[in-house]
Every structure is written in C-alpha cells, then in structure tokens.
Amino acid sequence: MAKNYIGETKLQLNGYYASIMKLEGSNHITIRFEDGTIIENQQLERFRKGTLVHPNGEYSIKVITKLGNRTGYYEKYREKYIGLRKLMIGCNQMATIVTYRSYHDIDVLFEDGTLIEHKYVDSFNTGEIDNFKKVIGEEMLMKNGQKACIIDYRHSTKADIKFEDGTIRKNVNVQHFRNGKLTAKNFKYNGLLVKHIIPNTNYYLCESNGKTIILSYDEMDKFVVNG
C-alpha cells in the first residue's frame, strides 16, 4: 500500500505543498513540506483533505497573497475569532483568543496572564484548552473529610492527586476532584484494589485476585494482573 502513496504531493489549506515521504499506516505518515520542514505521525485523511498544519503555524507567502486578493478573506476570519472569550472547563478560567493563524492554530490568553499557543478553534469552542499553571496546586476538601491537591496535570481527565496522608492517585478526572468524590482508600487502579497507603512509607497495601500485596506506585503502574 505504501508504494501507492509515497511521493504523492498535495496543496494544503495553509498554502504549502506537502509530500508523503514514508507511510507506516493511515495514522502514521511522514510529510515533507516544500520548504523542507518534516513532520511525522500524521493522518493520511488530513493530508488528503489538505488540513495538515505547518509547525511554524503560519500561512505561506503565496496563500497570504492569494487570500489578500479575495476581499480580505483571511482578515475576515481573524476578526471573527480574535477577542472571543470562553470559560475553559478543566481549569475553570476564562480564555481569550489573541492570535488567529488558521482554524487549526490559535493562541489564547487566560485571565491570569498565561499564554497557551498553537491550539485548535474546536478545542476553544468546547472549552478544552488547559491552563496548566492554574490547575497545579489547586486544593479541595473531599466529601469524606480528606484534603487533596493536584500535583500534576496533563489533561482535564488526566490529573495526579495527592491526599494529606500521602496517597497519590494518577490519571484522575479533574471534575471528580472538584466534586469531592475521590478517596484515598479502596480505589481501583490498573487492575488492583488499592486498600490504603502504609503510614510513613511510599508503599500501598493492594489486593489482586484475593491476594494481598505491597507495591510502590511505580510498581503499581507496571503491574500486570494474572488470570
């Protein structure tokens, strides 16, 4: 299949010609733009639709000239999006679009002054752009009386939470944290039932298939449940 696509060239909506250099699957193609820039692990469908994003996030000189000749087409969309404000769900903070390069490349400014670059308009519209500075360090009192704090944040559904007894839970939904629904005891993780942290240690008392085992969190990450 790869032989049918390697070398294929298509004009992208950003004005750059892109060519397929390597294909390892429909979601893993390597692309070379006409200016020599190479990007990997792209989708064949996006290549065909012309929606690949150049890493510099800008239109080529050719397309800016072309759009400029179409009665302000580019400026019309810039004016449509720049200045829009929306509440981002994960960090519970307002964000404003301050730069629009294309539908697939915007910069947003959060109310605390944090600038997040190169995001999609779709992510802005659904409130899914994250302000990492805002979320890390956030503390909440859980409904069971335990205090908990966000110590790492990758996405609104992938935050690491530390409880006052030292228990750490990984890949937690931030909304569950804010609703106070988390507990440091008797939770499931990676096929294990985590009973509790052993006081003054970094080890946890766990249960798997009716057997009690003691593991560190790193060991829990790598744990494989047997039959």
Share of the chain above pLDDT 90, in %: 22
| Count of residues making up the chain | 227
Do the domains 72-131 and 2-63 match in fold?
yes
Residue 30: predicted pLDDT: 92
Q: How far apart are CA 59 and CA 68, in angstroms?
A: 12
The mean pLDDT of 111-134, rounded to a whole number, is 86
The pLDDT confidence band at residue 153, using thresholds 50, 70 and 90, is confident
Share of the chain above pLDDT 70, in %: 88
Of residues 69 and 220, more confidence is placed in 220
Residue 50: predicted pLDDT: 82
How far is CA 83 from each of CA 96, 107, 108, 110, 132, rounded to the nearest angstrom? 6, 11, 9, 12, 21
**Beta strands at 105-110 and 93-102: parallel, antiparallel or unpaired:** antiparallel
Is residue 95 packed enough to be buried (19+ CB in 10 Å), middle (13-18) or exposed (0-12)?
buried
User: Amino acid identity of 29?
Assistant: I
CATH node for 72-131: 2.30.30
Tell me what the pLDDT averaged over the chain comes to.
83
Q: How far apart are CA 196 and CA 154, in angstroms?
A: 25
Please state the separation of Cα 183 from the chain's center in Å: 25
Is residue 1 packed enough to be buried (19+ CB in 10 Å), middle (13-18) or exposed (0-12)?
exposed
The mean pLDDT of 36-65, rounded to a whole number, is 76
Range with the poorest average pLDDT among 80-84, 87-91, 100-104, 160-164: 100-104
Residue 1: predicted pLDDT: 42
The mean pLDDT of 66-87, rounded to a whole number, is 68
The pLDDT confidence band at residue 57, using thresholds 50, 70 and 90, is low
Strand partners, 157: none
The pLDDT confidence band at residue 215, using thresholds 50, 70 and 90, is very high
Tokens linked to 150: 């966000």
pTM for the full predicted model: 0.51
Of residues 118 and 141, more confidence is placed in 141
Residue 106: predicted pLDDT: 87
For the chain, the domains span: 2-63, 72-131, 136-184, 185-227
CATH node for 2-63: 2.30.30
The pLDDT confidence band at residue 150, using thresholds 50, 70 and 90, is very high
* pLDDT per position as a tens digit, 10-31: 887 777 788 999 888 888 899 9
Residue 53: predicted pLDDT: 80
Of residues 139 and 76, more confidence is placed in 139
Residue 59: predicted pLDDT: 56
Can you tell me whether residue 131 is helix, strand or coil?
coil
Can you tell me whether residue 156 is helix, strand or coil?
coil
